[in-house]
Amino acid sequence: MPNPSYAPQSRAYPLIEAALARIATHPETARDPETLARKLGLTPAGLQAAVRNWSGAAPERFFSLFAPGGLARRLIPPMGPRSRGRAAAPYPAVRLRVMAKTPPGEPLRHGVHETPFGFCLVGVLGEAVCWLSFREKSDLGRARRELLDFWRGVPALADEATTARWIPEIFDLPCGRPGAEIPVAVRGTPFQIAVWKALLTLPPGSVCTYGEIARAAGRPGAARAVGNAVAANPVSFLIPCHRVVPRGGGFGNYGGGRLRKRALLAWEAARFPAP
């Protein structure tokens, strides 16, 4: 499989965040690309090209998530008895491996890579992705410390050549092979694992409330505990904690930053119809 470069999209990502920051404070600009472009110091054609090149969609479609009712139209419960007829989108497909013990002598390989959402730190254990966190370039040192603390006791090795091969599998939709799965290794408490499994039932292009995830994890009313489990998710994007939003409205918090959460959701919404 060719290994595409995400450097152009990574360099363009700050502009996307700037646009989303403007929409966060002036929601009406989500429906007014010309005004949004002017406020960003761009021509309408320049904004059109930048958003299309980054997201693959026209601004009107990409920013539609932030128009009134855009997020609400994508709210669904996790898959369960009420939603057996709903099939999860085929990409990215994740095979979760819960590890009570780590294989003896198996090194934790990690590397930093450019993605459509800026820089990310990826960890790989054997043949499974065991860490993914988005960070600003200046904050990657803290991300490494978090990775090593989570997988404490596992020998670690910087190895970008190994972790690089996973980047197109994760982020390049055309490279997603039908029926292919991305193995993901985690360890956590039984409740954390139940929450992460519930997150995996949410297809791209959808969102769900913390309360619905709590019910799916067998702890109705434990929305706050779900929030803690979501925050502890070691493999962002693949275990899609960005798809959980507050019941009262808005997008909520995200370990990689609130604007990045909006970018992730809009990127998915531009590719996948509302469930």
pLDDT digits (tens, 9 = 90+) for 192-245: 999 999 999 999 999 999 999 999 999 999 999 999 999 999 999 999 999 999
Is there a contact between 216 and 244 (Cβ–Cβ < 8 Å)? no
**DSSP state, residue 235:** B
**DSSP state, residue 225:** H
Cβ neighbours of residue 180 under 8 Å, at least 6 residues apart? Answer: 93, 169
- Averaged pLDDT, 66-95: 72
Instruction: Please state, in angstroms and rounded to a whole number, the distance separating the CA atoms of residues 194 and 202.
Output: 14
- Can you give the pLDDT at residue 84? 40
Domains in the chain, CATH or no CATH each:
72-269 (1.10.10.10)
CA terminus-to-terminus distance, the chain:
30
pLDDT digits (tens, 9 = 90+) for 46-66: 999 999 999 999 998 999 999
Closest CA to 265 of 120, 128, 66: 66
Q: Write out the catalytic residue numbers.
A: 241
